[in-house]
Structure 1
């Protein structure tokens, strides 16, 4: 049986790992808008936290009532050990950022990636005895405006090994909103929220939406073979292992495994997920593409 959690100020603070990252900083902002005492934890933040330095975990956890966990996606996963420390520290609620498809064999196109660190993190929070909620978002819409695809869009050509594959890119603001609801409201205990946007798009379609939002020229999409893409990453200084993992991570887009729409945003928030057109309008207003 999970424990109950009261998000009143007396039950603060909430510890947010990755407090300066894409979802973490948005979770921090929303919590603070609600008046919830919040610790934004990162390697260089006000609350020091480093997944690779376990000595930083206990000070960050001290007195925390709830934790938003943005895990380190490495082997072996440090999440189970962190969850053990959270339980020992008296934390009462965990909200874990996982990933879409982690429980689907072959989702990433390579059986060697089945049962990876995200799934072990899920198993750890489920068995913790604490109140828990798991978020499984697909690819972020913001990867085109502030993430890994941004440089290609700005340069006018985005080269990816995803063919005509489609994905229902999810707004990181929606992810943050669901996380905050799970951290501060009743009714989310034991829930796994699969999160996607409201429509599936190919990369060329996404670039069309960015052009509409900016009123500028459309960046071109250049499909490339997986081997060439992987070799290009290695030539840029990435290790063979990292390049292989990064290429495999794109496989769910290439195969359109990311295309089916999920209802997690509506189930958690009672409203539809935001469309990429709205996401990109906001990003254009903030000067994302110059």
Structure 2
């Protein structure tokens, strides 16, 4: 038998407020038609008073634990991917730990923006297979609405808030689990998607800035490449894949990436229309949707992929 990291439960959480394109068009110079044509986005959720990255992450974790039939006290590792932590420190992972009532476990944040969940999943997988923990909560959670320039129509329409989480458990199995992960970064392109602030530069939080056309071009190439890498590392071909769960940045990027690899659109999970781009939360949010509606079943070969600011990008292949 082989020690592998198996997903035992999935959960997600969204803020109470739903913001559709028509309402957004009343606040900024845009339209529903313009947003849908260029991005596929129709609505998004925006965090309100009392809703933070940590509270959304905790709600998602509780649902994932309930699906796994496990108690929070069984968790000995929490890895939370976010670019919008509640505070500079302590980590939002330790806040989730406290909110779940866990007295002692490994807990830390990972910051790789939209690729964050893939980075967190890879780190947790390595720690579980290395014997550092037995049960992990891997989370992607964001409140991007709080770093948006709501007067910039090219960016504020693209993002939303939310959280997704998986319970990852080390098991001796040949039939299920994470088969391979591949991660990359190229900091030379940091000026294409960034926040113009930070504690050690401006002393302010800053706002998100993006060169959309350049990001699109890099995303299609990088995502297709890393999907090819992770399939090769897993001994799989595109025909073996039951479902692709991509980062939900833009419907056109997702479609172009699938075409480049020859993947059928019917096998790609698409939730960007209802959630918009939730950065590190988008992959686990989409995964939870597809598990809950019955598309993704035990035994399915599932590939996850994402790219974010930095640039960072990565993919994971698993037998669910």
With the shorter chain as reference, the TM-score category is: 0.3 to 0.5
Structure of greater Rg: 1
More strand by share: 2
TM-score, scaled to structure 2: 0.31
Which protein, 1 or 2, shows the higher relative CO under an 8 Å CA cutoff with sep ≥ 6?
2
Q: TM-score, normalised by structure 1?
A: 0.33
